[in-house]
Amino acid sequence: MGVLPAKLCLDPQRRVRLSDVPLISAPPWLGLDRALAGWQARERGGCGALVADAGTALSLTRVSAAGEFAGGRLLAGASLQLQALASGTAALPQLPVPPELPADPWPQATASAMAAGVLRGLAAVIDQAWREARAEDPACRLWLTGGDAPALATLLGVEASPQLALEALVALRPA
């Protein structure tokens, strides 16, 4: 989450802090966005949750069925991976983000091959993490949010939940 503009007048008493999110055992370093989305996913699903927030970074946040922070993983998201490919090689282009998922799983054009590789790679990471989470909790549900969620949802065969963190804010501060 970014820095708020200085001229934005918000009541500091209504600010949501990590300690306001009823996520059990949330470590003090956990990002508020991850805590909000993880708590809301568990609340909405009523079972364990794996939240894949596919933005600049891909953050995977696990919440147990009891509502406890159960760990997570972080890796470069699609935009960072595409940026690294473009800046780290001489011949690969800079692509717009979020990338669109090519219809062809084996594209011949360079830009489409880059998008397909990055998005399919992220989907594989999420799928593996979800399998591992379900090995511990068979009812664990996968939630996708973030700018790359629609393309990843298509690959994973699940529904994207782009408003998960905002729904949590409304639940915690309804007025």
* Active site (catalytic) residues: 33
**Residue listed under structure tokens 């379900």:** 134
Ramachandran sector of residue 146 (left: φ over 0; alpha: ψ -120 to 50; beta: rest): left
Question: CB–CB of 80/57 below 8 Å?
Answer: yes
Residue 106 and residue 33: Cα distance in Å, rounded? 35
Question: CB–CB of 149/160 below 8 Å?
Answer: yes
